[in-house]
Amino acid sequence: MTQDQGMTGFNILLNAALNKSTAFTEEERDRLKLRGLLPASVGSQATQIERVLENLRRKDSDIERYIALMALMGRNERLFYRTLMDHIDEFMPIVYTPTVGQACREFAHIFRQPRGFYITPQDRGRIRSILDNWPTDDVRVIVVTDGQRILGLGDLGANGMGIPIGKLSLYVACAGIQPNQCLPVMLDVGTNNKELREDSLYLGVRRERLEGDAYDELIEEFVMAVQDKFPRALIQFEDFLTPNAYRLLNAYRDRVLCFNDDIQGTASVALAGVYASTRISGIDFSDLTIMFLGAGSAATGIADLMVEAFKDKGMSEEQARRRLWFVDINGLVVKSRDDLAEHNLPYAHDHKPLSFAQAVKEIKPHVLIGATGAPGAFTQDIVASMAKINERPVIFALSNPTSRAECTAEQAYIWSKGRVIFSSGSPFAPVTLNGKTYAPGQGNNAYIFPGIGLGAVICEAKHICEDMFLAAAKKLAEQVTQEDLKKGSVYPPLNAIRNASLEIAKAVAQVAYDQGLANAPRPQALEQAIADYMYDPYY
């Protein structure tokens, strides 16, 4: 809706997409019947941002800043996004990880305004019809969760709606997806979290989780309803329990436009970081041995994409898998074990069982990647072992939020005597050691998924293929400058994320066009077409 479609007066001030509040000009106040509804002073958006920053920075906690930012989104959408874009370093950790983890835990207690779309088992048989209740018809990106595995926090049920809301705010801020083309969805199928079910303020369905065929049938109805109502929409599956995450991805990846960010987005951003790390370590990617602590969807997704990356270097699939080792709660993943999930079997090597510490010393990995949700799993002995094996050990502590990281940046630098190439899933402050300051980059999926979505939207992709994530990882690694590497970062600064998303979108769209996966015709100037589409919140 635009201002020339007839909306005037107080209705404009109540419409977050149209409201400019005190920035409406004198002419607009007369034309739109706003005279008398606003204070006399006509301000600029820059002045409004100054006011927003003053108010946010005097809050006592990040959760209060989160609440204030969500309220701003609800009353002045463009001001919210410009504030987020112009101060992405400061506020991405508020609207997303790590603060979004606390926001999800407390979601029912800090709830102010409905946002997003909720589907419950009671909606079985009518999901397509209730989608008509959504106010826009041209949805292009959907982020959907069932709340069962929120970050590293477990089953948060309907409280998990904070994740789709946060992810879509980053789609807009980091890649310029139009806000009115975004749809957060909560599949509220209950929760096995008894404490939540007994919370008098809990907003979700108060029952144990729907499972089995009934669960699958609800998902199928939702996905098919989306195909009918929003046929150009990309579906991003988010924070599903590992078995469901893999099963749903395998069921739908070749049927509809979809991907799983925990599996594929995490894989792409981690691969990009490993690519960039080789420019510091001097070890060719083809020569790397990589070990994962944790064998869930995130770690296995990274390994699956790394297999493709090794194959891209000329290896066979068998040779590629021999470069990748897993350790889970029961030790090294080996063929003799009888407790492995199906997605772990391709990485079960013919080797004697070992503990994590033994495996590091015997396998001698160049790269250690944590995706466990187990804080402190990278102990001083583990980091010291990595530093003994490697001149420049690569250690990625990717678990979110910050409280769940396998080790802190400070621990990694101190225990390795400053030689580590470190990255984490949530942000850590710079570390000064022996007169040198290290500013490790954050291996945040926000570097990848917005660009993937933007590329898919521009070319109207039919499917999302693995080559798109491989192309995205290469493109992100290319954005890392020598100056970034000198600071210890294997990712570009967050204030460059919008340009990185544009480059990734271009690479993704090119893969789609080259592989016949695009419905839209290839524009003569692809980069310009992408830039022209991207949302601009300035007024």
The residues that are catalytic are: 96, 167
Interatomic CA distance for residues 295 and 36, integer angstroms: 61
Task: At 351, list the tokens.
Answer: 């080797």
Interatomic CA distance for residues 14 and 72, integer angstroms: 12
Please provide the DSSP assignment of 383-397 as one string: HHHHHHH-SS-EEEE
The dihedral sign for the CA sequence 451, 464, 97, 164:
positive
Which burial class, exposed, middle or buried, applies to 393 when counting CB atoms under 10 A from its CB (0-12, 13-18, 19+)? Answer: buried
Q: Which of 521, 526, 525, 486 shows the shortest CA–CA distance to 505? A: 526
Contact in structure between 370 and 376 (CB atoms under 8 Å): no
Interatomic CA distance for residues 193 and 204, integer angstroms: 11
Q: Quick check: helix, strand or coil at residue 332?
A: strand
Contact in structure between 469 and 306 (CB atoms under 8 Å): no
Reported residue count of the chain is: 539
CB atoms within 10 A of CB 244: 19
Element (H, E) at 186: strand 182-187
Interatomic CA distance for residues 59 and 291, integer angstroms: 42
Element (H, E) at 370: strand 367-370
Name, in order, each residue with C-beta under 8 angstroms of 424's C-beta and a sequence gap of 6 or more: 396, 397, 398, 402, 405, 409, 440, 442, 443
Interatomic CA distance for residues 458 and 188, integer angstroms: 31
**What residues pair up with 485 in beta bridges, in sequence order?**
none
Contact in structure between 204 and 191 (CB atoms under 8 Å): yes
Torsion of CA 155, 157, 161, 167, to 10 degrees: 20
Interatomic CA distance for residues 375 and 149, integer angstroms: 16
Interatomic CA distance for residues 420 and 18, integer angstroms: 49
Interatomic CA distance for residues 177 and 159, integer angstroms: 25
Strands 331-332 and 324-328, by their bridges, are antiparallel
Task: At 262, list the tokens.
Answer: 């925990």
